[in-house]
Each structure stands twice: as structure tokens, then as C-alpha cells.
Copies of this chain bind each other. A is one copy, B any other.
Amino acid sequence: MADDAPSFQSDDVISGAAQGRLKSFIERIERLEEDKAAVSEDLKEVYSEAKGEGFDVKILRKVVRIRKQDKAKMSEEEALIELYMSAIEG
């Protein structure tokens, strides 16, 4: 392990500097989790709004899911082509 990456994984006293970095990491993580929760909340609202306009949420979800699968499949196919290419070049 690099000198600037000491292990704090067990039986260590954490230095003041490490403490500061730890605090910073925790804050960044908690901020991001808040963001994520906010986005999830927005999603729920959109579904709710759609429902309020008469759309079937279940169907909506499935449509989104299928479109997601489409994209995933396309990505996989592109990755496969990449594999083929690299296999040929190798």
C-alpha cells in the first residue's frame, strides 16, 4: 500500500489529518445520498402526476423498463462488437 494511503482498517489511532479527510468523505456521501433521495422523490411525484392524468402507472413502469432493456441490450451488443474487434486485432 502506498505511503499516502495508510490503513485505518483496524487497531489504529486516526490522526487529525485523517480525521479531517474522514469527515469530508462522510459529508460528501451524505450530501449525495440526499440528492439521491430527492431524485427518488421527484420520480414518485412524476408517477403520481401521470396517474392523476389517467395514465396507468404499472404500464408506465413497464414501458420505461422495456426501453431501458433496449438500451442495455444495445450496449451489450456494442461491447460484443468491441470484443470481436479486439479478438481480431489480437
Mark A residues whose CB is within 8 Å of B. Answer: 1, 4-12, 18, 21-22, 25-26, 28-30, 32-33, 35-36, 39-40, 42-43, 46-47, 49-50, 52-56, 58-60, 62-70, 72-73, 76-77, 79-80, 83-85, 87-90
In the complex, how many angstroms separate the beta carbon of A85 from the nearest chain B beta carbon? 8
Question: Majority SS of interface residues in chain A?
Answer: helix
In the complex, how many angstroms separate the beta carbon of A48 from the nearest chain B beta carbon? 11
Instruction: Report how far A62 CA is from B58 CA in the complex, Å.
Output: 22
Instruction: Report how far A14 CA is from B47 CA in the complex, Å.
Output: 18
Residue contacts A-B, CB under 8 angstroms, 21 given: A8-B54, A8-B87, A9-B59, A9-B88, A11-B88, A18-B54, A21-B53, A21-B55, A25-B46, A26-B64, A26-B67, A29-B60, A30-B67, A33-B43, A39-B39, A56-B87, A62-B80, A69-B69, A69-B72, A69-B76, A73-B73
